[in-house]
Every structure is written in C-alpha cells, then in structure tokens.
Amino acid sequence: MEAVMDLGLFRAAAVVIGYGFGIMQTSYIFGKLFRNTDIRDHGSGNPGTANTIRTFGFGIGAGVFALDVLKAVAAFLLCMYLFGGMFFGGENGLLPGMYAGTGVVLGHNFPFYMGFKGGKGIASSIGVMVCTDWRIVLIQIALGLSCVFATRMISIASLALTLAFPPLLFVFGFGTEVVLVSAFLTALAWVMHRGNIQRILTGSERKLSFGKGRV
C-alpha cells in the first residue's frame, strides 16, 4: 500500500511541477513585452501560436511556438531526472515525463492567474511528443506537414497529431499507462478544439495563405 501511495505522490508531483512550467503564457508575455498589448484582445482571443502569428507576425509567433514546446521538454526532462530512477522503469519508464508534460498542458490551458483561460496546448503537446521516440517525431512531422499543405488548416494538423500519438506509442511498445496518459492529452486537445471542429464541419475554419505569408 505504501508503495502505491508513493507512486501516486510522484505522479502528482510531476503534474504539479509541469503545471508550474505550463502557466508561463509565452504569447501573453511576448505581447506585453514587444507590442505592449494583450494577445487576448486580438483575433480569436486565444493566447496561442496561431493567433500570435496572425496578430504580431511570424517572428514573434515562431518564438512563442518554440518556447511553448521547450517548456514541455524542460518539465519532461526535469521529472525524468528527478523521478525516473526511483519508481518507474521498463515499458513505463517515460511516466514521470508524461505526467510532467500533462501538467504543462494543463497549466498552459488553464493558468490560475488568467482565470483558467489559456491556450489550447498543442505546442506543449508537441514538446511531449519530441521527448518520447525519434521515430514518432519523424512520423508526426510528416503527418503534420501533410495535413497543413493538404488542407491549409493548422487545426486539422493539430487534431491529427494528437490523434496519432497514442497509437504510435502503442505500436512502438510503450506501456499501457504511457498510452493512457497520451490518450488523455489527445482528448484534452480535441475538447479545446471543439470550436475549430465545428468550423471545420461547416467549412468556415480559417486557412493558411501561403502566398501572402499570413495565417
């Protein structure tokens, strides 16, 4: 029983650590720092990469994307270092990082100091994917680019990447709990994109304009 409780505590600790990384709202910070404005007052109102690119341009948007990915990578690696050798191993060896990554996405989506209204967590979810397996990363890059160029919709690429993540982990032999945690991230991403899904179904979702360099 004590071992089970210890395992639960380490899972909870990883989520809390990840949440601390996740609440750093890069798009909000960059908007205030470089444009002296609140990203939530512009475009879709979503403090994420796509809206940042639309509002502030590709340069600032790319910086936001990179840092949102990196905060998930940092939390993932930190918790692997802190907890990986204690209670987790074998096919579930990624669990400390997976729970930390989940915390990052939760913090990004629901930052307490912004009324629990943040972004949609895709960049941070990609950060989690980057830490799992290089083969998964290559497949996801190909999938994401294919979706973007075929549909010109970032939302479809985001939905496809998250949907493919759990099956890929399963195919490459990761443990059941790792797959289940990734499935939670997938479900969360789809819930956060419910508005996008509705617009996709009605044909009103915004598309990339490659020729004009706009989103």
Q: Please write the tens of the pLDDT for every residue from 127-145.
A: 999 999 999 999 999 999 9
**Tokens 């973007």 label which residue?**
148
With a cut of 70, list the residues of the chain below it in pLDDT: 1-7, 85-91, 209-215
The whole-angstrom separation of Cα 40 and Cα 6 is 40
Taking phi over 0 as left and psi of -120 to 50 as alpha, with beta for the rest, 209 belongs to beta
> What pLDDT shows up at residue 107?
97
Q: How far apart are CA 170 and CA 133, in angstroms?
A: 12
Report pLDDT for 33. 86
**How high is the pLDDT of residue 42?**
83
Residues in Cβ contact with 186 at an 8 Å cutoff, skipping those fewer than 6 apart: 162, 163, 165, 166
Q: Where do the structural domains in the chain lie, given as residue ranges?
A: 2-212
The pLDDT value recorded for residue 151 is 92
| CA dihedral of residues 45, 48, 50, 51 (deg, nearest 10) | 20
Per-residue pLDDT at 40:
84
Residue-level pLDDT at 86: 54
